[in-house]
Amino acid sequence: MDPIYKKLVQNNDAHIVSTLQLQVNDPASKYFGGIIDDTGIARANHLNTPRVMAEWASALVNPESRYYRDEALLAAFDRAADFMLNRQHADGTITLGSTNFNSPPDTAFVVGGVTQIYQLLEARVWAAVKPAAAKVKLFLERTIPAMLTGGCHTPNHRWVITAALALLHEIFPLPELVARAEEWLAEGVDITEDGEWTERSNGIYNAVSDIALYHTARLLNRPEWMEGVRRNLRMMVYLVHPSGEVVTDYSGRQDFGHSFDMAPYFLIYRLMAAHDKDPLFAAMSDYAGSVIQRSDAVNNHALLGLLLFPEADIADLERAPLPDSYVKVINGRHPLSEHLQQIDRVGHHMKIEHSSMHLAFGAPLVRIREKDTSATIMTRTPSFFSLRHGQVRLLGVKVSTSFSPGIVKFDDFSVEQGIYKLGVEMQKGYNGPIPHPFLPERSGAAEISPWYLLPHQHRSMTHLQTHKLQAAIMPGASEWKICVQSDEREDVYTQVTFIFGAEGSIIGNDLQAAGEGKYMLKSGSVRYAVNGDAIEITGGAYEHWLPVNREDQHPAGCQYVHVNLLTPFERTFTIRML
């Protein structure tokens, strides 16, 4: 038996014990049949009750599970199906819970998995499960109007919706489902040549887009849409630290700076390995499967997927070695500047309701790994450098100034003789008076003129100022050097911040406490250690007394060492791995 499959079955059975205890069994409760989550209530979104239903269904039909055809579990599943019908809104949608009410995209997430639950149950010759399966099918049928008319918030939502439409079409062969999917697909794929999706979300939304487009491509006979999935899966080979932590240092979504592993990629690597007969994908599937503790959301449920798609057996497929020493430039050739210059022509004036423009899409980055040392160099993100050395986590290095004011995001990138160079030119000017022909009409000189009702777009710019910063990053076998340099403008308060994990100790000869978990490195060096691993950073300075620049932010759960500089400056920091 496949050891990963065996582990998934065992883990799934173990979770059933706890999830049964969390089911609401009071018939008087509006949450009757649902599974209570960490909010204290039962919810119908893809991470909660439907996910548990996937676990239960995967046990009920699986002879390897100790809950195979268990009557008590089937009764619990039936109650959960009732809960989904009761919590479904009249328009066919569900509500995410944390936000997104009557949400088509969150309904699509649920549909993406519940369709698979239905197919798994319906394929079994087991009369007892048919009534519950019929309830699941009714829930799905009710979602069709919302899937045919509903919109999205984010780029990945489009592909979640197309997958839901394609999966629904497999059960309900309505041509309008395909037609709606084609409307979304007509917008085109949002992935760079090197495999980066718009949201740059290695911890969450890459895997979401990958699995959704896999189902879309296979069910709508659009094999060309699998190419984006391939690109992203190849890219992710280089975005894992030696500890197994996924690189999230530059994400455009909520996984930014948080810890994630490769578990959500297991199923899509497995499916694509079987589809392409790809040894690298097979090896990555094994790796991702080795870290699974619990299956992902209902639309990306590992055990459900293996049971429903037995053709994804890759036992006889060769495995490629996974790289542990490399220098990988990602998006080095992406025409980001060219794309940004086209924005004005589009006509949206940088406004989109309930979403983001994601202007960092396609920004260059570099991944460098040598065995147990792993570094990331980034552009267009708050932190421009991060490093892992054994158990040491230098989560980021960032620069903030009083010129902007706030965090600096480097946008220029080049490589010269092994030195990585980043740059930015900031601008700040002043707005002149609105020309008289554009002023709103007023009945009298004393009439109130609200600022927000003035046509500010007609103001001329005066006294436009610029400020340039550069950073040069020089790798080495035992130490890295980072040189940060300003232009000749005087007296810009600047702060370089080194962000460390909360788990380590920080010591230095001239280190001044500046609040909980915050320090000023006034001179000399600082040492950060976790168990037997350590790094030392030299280059301290205290040229001004500001504890933080305006509009800079320091998320909780980390430790910070600040170096205060005053322009003009050229400061070199040396990071030694001990």
| Residue 266 Rama label (left phi>0; alpha psi -120 to 50; beta) | alpha
Residues 39 and 45 sit within 8 Å (Cβ to Cβ): no
As a whole number, mean pLDDT of residues 49-60 equals 97
Residue 538 has pLDDT above 80, yes or no: yes
**Would you state the structure tokens that stand for residue 323, as one six-digit string?**
């790289």
Dihedral angle over CA of 154, 160, 161, 163, nearest 10: 160
Residues 183 and 175 sit within 8 Å (Cβ to Cβ): no
Residues 134 and 321 sit within 8 Å (Cβ to Cβ): no
Confidence at 335, pLDDT banded by 50, 70, 90: confident
As a whole number, mean pLDDT of residues 318-344 equals 84
Mean pLDDT of the chain: 92
At 367, the amino acid letter reads R
Residue 350 has pLDDT above 70, yes or no: no
**Cis ω for the linkage preceding 440 (within 30 of 0):** no
d(CA 538, CA 576): 8
CB within 8 Å of 497: residues ≥ 6 apart: 396, 397, 398, 399, 400, 552, 554, 560, 561, 562, 563
- Whole-number pLDDT of residue 334: 77
d(CA 297, CA 43): 13
- Whole-number pLDDT of residue 354: 63
Confidence at 499, pLDDT banded by 50, 70, 90: very high
Name the β-bridge partners of 396: 499
Count of C-beta atoms within a 10 Å radius of residue 536 = 17
CA 117 to centroid of chain Cα atoms:
26
Q: Which has more confidence, 83 or 331?
A: 83
Least confident residue range of 22-31, 346-355, 473-482: 346-355
Reported as type and span, the H/E element at residue 416 is: strand 412-416
- Whole-number pLDDT of residue 340: 66
d(CA 482, CA 573): 5
CATH class of 1-151: mainly alpha
CB within 8 Å of 32: residues ≥ 6 apart: 24, 25, 26, 79, 82, 83, 86
Query: Could you report the per-residue pLDDT of 11-47, keeping only the tens digit for each?
Result: 999 999 999 999 999 999 999 999 999 899 999 998 8
d(CA 369, CA 237): 12
Q: Where are the domains of the chain?
A: 1-151, 382-434+447-577
Burial tier of 529 (Cβ tally within 10 Å: 0-12, 13-18, 19+): middle
Global pTM value? 0.92
Rounded to whole angstroms, what are the CA distances from 396 to 144, 255, 381, 384, 399? 45, 15, 10, 7, 10
